[in-house]
Chain A
């Protein structure tokens, strides 16, 4: 006997949204609390410290700037992937989703060079509270990028078969993945000035 999950394509009559969309927003709410706790920790460490360094004296601002551009661009390509499905254009969807995945890898490659340089210079999370919170927050954000790549890669090739059987449900999946991806971008928008520039 197969189990049919209700309201995956059509909005639930009570909430007015699909269960998938309600689910992702509840998940994102928990993510706000997770990153909120880390931002609080950063504030406590910074205010309680007598010599907190200016991020730009230790961290590589140009690399982080490039990564900001990469992530914002990936948000645009992600929303364009969803819009392409709304316009019934699977080819353009694949192009934009492919670009999103490519940009996600580019972000990780830049991050790899940034981390490598730190470790090469003997700077690790154990060096100072500043580097401890820097590696914790950017590391957790990096894990979110990897999670996004896994989901987007699935929706790019194998998961896209659903477009032919249930296009409405597939478009909903891409929208939900997009909400997650934009949230990851949003976190970086706050991480960048907080860690690198102040």
Chain B
């Protein structure tokens, strides 16, 4: 990240633009909930909007758009572990649901 006053002032403009985008996207999140979409579409839209908002916060406010390699490696390892723990849980839930539907008790 550049440290000159000129560069910081340039970044400040970006912060305010991101803030506006986050406000609009928050409105979108709430607005979409009033359409009463089917649950899978509601989940999809909610998570796409949340992911965009989270991405903006991480990239611009947390400066991840211009960070050192070691920080990216930490985050990649975290993502792999987090997803690695969640997937077996989801598989277990799915297998249990399948068993209940298809195997006579």
Q: Which of B9, B39, B68, B74 has the most CB of A within 10 A?
A: B68
Quick check: is B103 within 8 A (CB to CB) of the other chain?
A: no
| Chain A interface extent, by class | 35 or more
Nearest B residue to A175, CB-CB: B63
Q: Determine, out of A69-77, A120-128, A134-142, A145-153, the stretch whose residues face the partner at the interface.
A: A69-77
Binding stretch for chain B, among A2-10, A21-29, A100-108: A21-29
Task: Give the number of residues in B that approach A within 8 Å (Cβ atoms).
Answer: 46
Contact of A29 with B8 at beta-carbon distance under 8 Å, contacts A80-B15, A83-B15 already known = no
CB <8 Å contact, B93 and A48: yes
Pair A36/B29 contact, Cβ less than 8 Å: no
A161 within 8 A of B: no
Secondary structure at chain B's binding surface: helix, strand, loop or mixed?
helix
Complex contact B19–A36 (CB within 8 A): no
Main secondary structure, interface of A, reads: helix
Contacts of A182 in B (CB 8 A): 57-58, 61-62
Distance (whole angstroms) from the CB of B59 to the closest CB of chain A: 11
Chain B contacts with A in 32-85, Cβ cutoff 8 A: 33, 39, 42-43, 46-47, 49-50, 53-54, 57-58, 61-62, 68-71, 74-75, 77-79, 81-82, 85
Q: Hey, which chain A residues are within 8 Å of B97, CB to CB?
A: 47-48
Contacts of A47 in B (CB 8 A): 93, 97
Q: Which of B5, B16, B70 has the most CB of A within 10 A?
A: B70
Q: Is B85 touching A83 in the complex (CB atoms < 8 A)?
A: no
- 6 pairs of residues in contact across A and B, judged by CB atoms under 8 Å: A25-B75, A40-B86, A47-B97, A83-B15, A189-B54, A198-B42
User: A182-B57, A193-B33 known; 4 other A-B pairs, CB under 8 Å?
Assistant: A29-B78, A36-B85, A76-B19, A182-B61
